Structure 1
């Protein structure tokens, strides 16, 4: 169990999926502060923004400015959400090298989220991949609604597997399986991750979960046990898709960290993360959703993960 967890990458998605539903555009300087805090803490990878239209997703409006301010070394650990070849071009011109090319398994959600059919997004992926290669970058195939769709309901596994087997997705470096509405259960997650690993052994497999139905940590652990290389989460459980009715926050980073105990995490580091997350949630006027963060503020002082000194949470 420990060895499995130690080999799994935790990716923080606060600055993309986490901010989408807040309606709040954080200044570039504040986003840079969040990125550098997380990187300095030891979080291996981050999702730092999106090329979605600013009029539709206002919190993403300064993504290109954020990319331009990061160093090349920092950008090697950062991913940017894209949905078209033109998005890849713009992000690459700003300095990005890791691109998460996203579309939905179901047409209904892809139309709501991106404004085109799933087939149209598939058709465009080879061009996005070619642009990625010209800048020496990496590209992820990110499949939203891989388990259920807010409009069409349950999504058959074969629809996901057909996309993974499609030659147009053959250039992907990673496969991202998204439980967009947080309705999957561990057995479903384990099954799809296992089949994705079998179909695309050349790719890392990423599980992107939401905690809408309280299955976030359980699903992430099931994904890890099934062979997932990366799991996603956001500070304080922020997040959700603005184009998916019923979607709520991502699985909280604090909960995933507490469950998996990555090598860079110890009680003092956890206290700093909890304090930083609490400050961000207050800034955004968002409620705390992390159960581990709540536990860290309990009175069970004999447990080393409980925060005893408020000063230990300062930035």
Structure 2
């Protein structure tokens, strides 16, 4: 049975090739990344984050992001996102063909300094130029708020600071707001309250949620965000992920777990089996464990259940 779809409808963006790869010991070459993007798009995943413009000496798996962008077609690029943190990042990514930009800053100053090398205010100050550059190529830009709930250095992050940034007129050109539980320490009620307040107390924009599964609540928090007004949630294959500048952060909510819970109309047991196979191949290449509970369930011997795929890859 493919029914029991989650309401309201929520889309899933796969972030394997950005957040998912940040802490892996092995890297993927351009050909492999392009193949993964195309396979995800082909099977129906609505959008994919293909990489970031983070410094390659600090985050080596991101070194070929511009090459990946340059290899994708204009139609594919309409469904692909790239992580940026400065106007120069937007400029370079746009030159490679990108049209969707996730402009990221941390709500907490200490994490912004560790992650991007400047205070949060400096990132906000630079955002209007980044917005102009994105719009100049007919693009779309998101305001992505890392450490929106907790910070590895300061602990709890005040909700008022999140709302202040989202209401700052310098962020007005952002089409979307992405609320990030960077450390995976939030609980559903906390996520639901923050997302609902962003929806009710800031300018109308699409809201997304980016959750980590450090404390086992990645999917629960994503569903709570959706109930509160988020229309998109992020996940990575097999629960890969983590921030190299956030001690204690582990993998993202698994794409497979989110899709199995949400049951979008394009997902069938057959396409889910293909996704399970892609995850298995990719994690074998990277030498990483599979943290997806849905994949573990699908590979069980419960053959009477239509979503089970056994040992197929």
TM tier, smaller:
over 0.9
- Which one of the candidate residues 67, 70, 73 is aligned to 1:71? 73
Contact 2:144 2:179 (8 Å CA) reproduced:
yes
**Post-superposition shift, 1:25?**
2.2
Residue 26 of structure 2 is aligned to residue 24 of structure 1: yes
Number of matched residues? 310
SS at match of 2:135: helix
TM-superposed CA distance for 1:130, in Å, is 0.7
Q: Does 1:211 align with 2:213?
A: yes
Q: Conserved in 1, the CA contact under 8 Å of 2:238 and 2:254? A: yes
> Matches of 2:204 and 2:92 in 1, distance apart?
27
Structure 2 regions of 5+ residues with no counterpart? none
CA distance in 2, matches of 1:273, 1:131: 35
5 Å matches for 1:181-200?
Answer: 181-200=183-202
Q: Distance in 2 between matches of 1:2 and 1:291?
A: 19
Q: What residue in structure 2 maps to residue 124 of structure 1? A: 126
Choose from 89, 92, 95 the match for 2:91.
Answer: 89
Paired residue secondary structure (1:121): helix
Query: Which position in structure 2 is the counterpart of 1:33?
Result: 35
**What is the Cα deviation at residue 53 of structure 1?**
0.5
1:270 aligns to 2:281 (yes or no):
no
SS in 2 for 1:4: coil
Residues 153-203 of structure 1, C-alpha deviations (whole Å, 9 max, x = no match): 011110100101111111110000000000000001111111111234531
CA distance in 1, matches of 2:302, 2:255: 22
Aligned counterpart, 2:244: 242
Runs (4 or more) in structure 1 with deviation over 6 Å come to none
- TM-score, length basis structure 1: 0.96
Aligned to 1:59: 61
Partner of 1:254 in structure 2? 256
1:109 equivalent in structure 2: 111
Residue 2 of structure 1 corresponds to which residue in structure 2?
5
Kindly indicate whether the alpha-carbon contact (under 8 Å) linking 1:173 and 1:202 is maintained by their aligned counterparts in 2: no
Quote the Cα distance in structure 2 between the aligned partners of 1:308 and 1:299: 6
Distance 1:12 1:118 in 2: 26
The Cα shift of 1:227 comes to 1.2
- Native 8 Å contact 1:85 1:124 kept in 2: yes
What is the rounded CA distance, in whole Å, between the counterparts of 1:301 and 1:42 in structure 2? 25
Q: CA deviation at 1:3?
A: 5.9
What is the aligned partner in structure 2 of residue 222 from structure 1?
Answer: 224
Q: For 2:177 and 2:241, how far apart are their aligned partners in 1?
A: 21
Which residue number corresponds to residue 286 of structure 1?
Answer: 288
Q: Distance in 2 between matches of 1:296 and 1:11?
A: 21
Cα distance in 1 for residues equivalent to 2:11 and 2:6: 12
CA distance in 1, matches of 2:77, 2:7: 26
Alignment check: 8 A CA contact 1:108 1:152 kept: yes
Partner Cα separation in structure 2 for residue 237 and residue 201 of structure 1: 32
1:146 paired to 2:154: no
TM-score (norm 2): 0.97
Residue equivalent to 1:50:
52
Q: Secondary structure at the match of 1:2?
A: coil
